Chain A
């Protein structure tokens, strides 16, 4: 019966024809929106609470991400035995504060990428964010039949996304993160989609980079919380500007 229902209700069929990348993104957006998005559209800030873990290494940390329109963000981890790790972008600069390496102001390329990835509305505005969509074909990703799309970001980076052939939802991605620190390929899987104020959100994101696995789980999201500290670099990062002069 379950099989029958699944086969009977797949939303939009592509009937053997290969969809275009634009169609896959449209379908992805349709699949994400399952209710009234009024609260999302009205919100200016949000806070996402979750957990970060590296299960093979036995490392766990709470994770708090604060976001503010149009693309400001700050994400904070507290690693037992190591300390507080923070990354962010405030519209002027992108930074990281690593308890082992110290504070760092990211270079222009990294700041541009932080501004891109911190976009408050994320993938909803995909038409403005990506060009050169190319559908590679049907593939298997995270045990799911999925359409692979390669596209170019507004910054000129190629990214690869895999959309579930049945549900239309994003199931995998492959992104190469570049900067002064080097170049790291990151493979991600997205699962456990749950509704938050009319929008489906993946509660579990598993990333693999440099042969290490990172699991991020989202516990809850507050839209327009009553108290929202403005996003700004921490004091250690601001101190780096002292030598730069006015």
Chain B
């Protein structure tokens, strides 16, 4: 009997062992892969000693995740994270999975309030202020601004409107243009767009929007993430712009969190005529990799004015493209300073089955400027205002249109 007991330890010990093994693995991988041998000046061994006792108590993946997040946070870098494997697995169908519903709204912090900047809901107007969504009291998030920075709140807002059960309803309270309270019932719709699924990356629904502005004089291209489906319609838009002899192109990267970094090069290759331009350089401890643009044949390229729109939610590959085109003098950037979250990373499987986003390198722009923590600064800063939204205008698009259509002598 004793032998049997020894051979079959209580189940929770086995569960704890795998969590501890996962903690050790994650700590080691971060240490070996981090671009800075000095670990940003953090005593990484001390972090291990401090947090391992907490990891020892974890019995489930959910209990370990906050410990790993705390460990990653000590480095002060973006692009570290841990997520459940279910995010990347299976996905039998958008309608059957909680979290695959979206509200067809985009929200941003404007003048300290949560404002609707895009609405696909008939009952909700642009410029309205969201006060409450289901059980979530947004005013509390704003009270927490002393501990949460604006970027954190904006990322939470993005998650908030993209994490419902398709087909279900949620009550929402808004303030309309007169600041009167309006209660509406919103339907979560299944996420739309082509799905992109690459290795461990969670399935992504790629939403692409191309618009012809000012009677076709300017073409606008917007998409919600850098995944392979964005390239064919981009190529078509560039061809259409060239064929119609339109004046310019606007690439709207506001709210775009990034994705596959190589696609920044793929998009730029239709805009850049000279060989040898580099959008950015990633540097690990022993290697460097440049985002080198090879110009497409001249008949496929557009060589007229290009405006890029960014905001505090434009991150990662959005920053490589915006900062890269700006740095080589190929585009003028409008809007607000980007997120400053630009570290190249990968998603690896952990021993407990969860997925870890791991930073592999640092990144600098074409002129050697570091993007992480700084972001891309627009050539023309244009804040989003509630007044403009209520009036049905987009001041950032307007500024870009003016630059393209009314160039200074």
Interface residues of A (CB under 8 A from B): 54, 56-59, 79-83, 98-105, 180-185, 209-212, 239-240, 242-243
B294/A100 in contact, CB under 8 A: no
How many angstroms from the CA of A240 to the CA of B266 in the assembled complex? Answer: 14
Stretch in B191-199, B248-256, B376-384 with 4+ CB within 8 Å of A: B191-199
How far, in whole Å, are A242 and B295 apart by their CA atoms in the complex?
A: 12
In the assembled complex, the Cα of A182 lies from the Cα of B282 at a distance in Å of: 9
User: CA A85 – CA B346 in complex, angstroms?
Assistant: 19
From A99, A103, A180, A210, give the contact of B284 (CB < 8 A). Answer: A210
CB contact between A100 and one of B262, B276, B346 (< 8 Å): that residue: B262
Assuming the A-B contacts A211-B32, A212-B346, are A102 and B269 also in contact, with contact meaning beta carbons closer than 8 angstroms in the complex? yes
Known: A58-B200, A210-B361. 13 other contacts (CB 8 A): A54-B199, A56-B348, A58-B199, A58-B349, A59-B199, A98-B262, A99-B231, A102-B269, A102-B296, A183-B287, A209-B287, A210-B287, A239-B297
Contact with A along B308-346 (1 / 0, CB 8 A): 000000000000000000000000000000000000001
**C-alpha gap A103/B260 in the complex (Å):** 17
In the assembled complex, the Cα of A180 lies from the Cα of B275 at a distance in Å of 11
Residues in B with CB closer than 8 Å to A56 are 346, 348-349
CB of B288 within 8 A of chain A? yes
Bound CA–CA A183/B287 (angstroms): 6
A-B contact pairs, 8 of them (CB 8 A): A81-B198, A100-B263, A104-B292, A105-B294, A183-B288, A210-B289, A211-B284, A212-B346
Q: Name the contact of A59 in the complex, choosing from B198, B266, B282 (C-beta under 8 A).
A: B198
Given A58-B199, A183-B287; A103-B349 close (CB under 8 Å):
no
Contacts of B346 in A (CB 8 A): 56-57, 212
Whether A180 touches B287, Cβ cut-off 8 Å, given contacts A58-B200, A102-B265, A242-B299, is no
B350-407 contacts to A, CB under 8 A, are 358, 360-361
Chain B residues whose C-beta falls within 8 Å of the C-beta of A100 in the assembled complex? 228, 231, 260, 262-263, 265-266
Residue numbers in B under 8 Å from A79 (CB-CB): 198
Complex: A47 Cα to B200 Cα, angstroms: 30
Nearest Cβ on chain A to B77's Cβ, whole angstroms = 14
Find the A residue at minimum CB distance from B301: A243
0/1 interface trace, chain B 171-194, chain A, CB 8 Å (1 if under)? 000000000000000000000000
- By a CB distance below 8 angstroms, the chain A residues around B32 are 211
- By a CB distance below 8 angstroms, the chain B residues around A209 are 287
Q: A212 and B262 in contact (CB under 8 A), knowing A240-B294, A240-B297?
A: no
Given contacts A103-B294, A240-B297, contact A211 B360 (CB under 8 A): yes
Contact A102 B199 (CB under 8 A): no
Cβ-defined contact, A102 with B298, below 8 A: no
B347 contacts the other chain (CB 8 A): yes
Bound CA–CA A103/B360 (angstroms): 25
Interfacial chain A residues near B231, Cβ < 8 Å = 99-100
B201-239 CB mask vs A (1 if < 8 Å, else 0) is: 000000000000000000000000000100100000000
Contacts of A80 in B (CB 8 A): 197-198
Residue among A54, A79, A210 with most chain B CB within 10 A: A210
Residues in A whose Cβ lies below 8 Å from that of B287? 182-185, 209-210
| Interface membership of B33, Cβ < 8 A | yes
State whether the Cβ of B118 lies closer than 8 Å to any Cβ in chain A: no
The CB with the most chain A CB atoms within 10 A, among B281, B297, B360, is that of B297
Contact A104 B290 (CB under 8 A): no
B265 touches A57 (CB 8 A): no
Contact digits for B257-268, partner A, Cβ 8 Å, 1 yes 0 no? 000101101100
B360 closest partner in A (C-beta): A211
Say whether B197 contacts A81, CB under 8 Å. Answer: yes
Q: Given A56-B346, A81-B198, answer yes or no on A181-B290 (Cβ-Cβ < 8 Å).
A: yes
Is B247 close to A, CB under 8 A?
no
Closest 3 CB pairs of A and B: A100-B262, A58-B199, A59-B199
User: Given the complex of chains A and B, what is the CA–CA distance between A59 and B260 in angstroms?
Assistant: 14
Contact A81 B199 (CB under 8 A): yes
